[in-house]
């Protein structure tokens, strides 16, 4: 069999395979969170999210808002050295992110079994 014929069969099979894979995965809410950082952030985003009194007080200071919190939960970095600490029947996660004004912030979120609570929002100290 000539190379051109083999290549044509390969392409036909590849196109049919891609079609069936797209058919199977379309309409499903599938995510590929392979790394620990992505898994933690996805878990926190999908649970009902609440704010503590301290976090609400910080949000009222107007240097940070809920959009910054959502962006941090989407694109932030989990500090695993300080995170995964048992606290109040849940686990504490420390997440570093930025505001829309490019100011670095740190979120402390407690992940309970059925909800996530933002405990504290702080400015990241400048490294010297």
Q: What is the pLDDT of residues 83-119, one digit of tens each?
A: 888 887 899 999 999 988 889 999 999 999 999 999 9
The mean pLDDT value for 43-60 works out to 92
pLDDT band at 7 (very low <50, low <70, confident <90, very high): very high
Residue 128 has pLDDT above 60, yes or no: no
Q: How many helices (H) and strands (E) does the chain have?
A: 4, 6
Among 124, 122, 110, CA closest to 49: 110
Strands annotated E in 1-128: 49-51, 77-78, 85-87, 90-98, 104-111, 116-123
């Amino acid at each position: 069999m000539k190379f051109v014929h083999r290549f044509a069969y390969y392409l036909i099979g590849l196109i049919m395979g891609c079609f069936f894979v797209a058919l199977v995965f379309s309409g499903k809410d599938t995510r590929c969170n392979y790394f620990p950082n992505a898994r933690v952030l996805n878990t926190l985003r999908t649970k009902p999210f609440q704010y503590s009194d301290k976090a609400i007080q910080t949000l009222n200071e107007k240097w940070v808002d809920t959009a910054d919190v959502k962006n941090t939960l989407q694109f932030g970095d989990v500090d695993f050295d300080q995170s995964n600490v048992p606290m109040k029947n849940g686990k504490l996660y420390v997440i570093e992110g930025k505001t829309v004004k490019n100011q670095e912030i740190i979120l402390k979120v407690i992940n309970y079994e059925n909800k996530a609570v933002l405990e504290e929002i702080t400015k990241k100290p400048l490294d010297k």
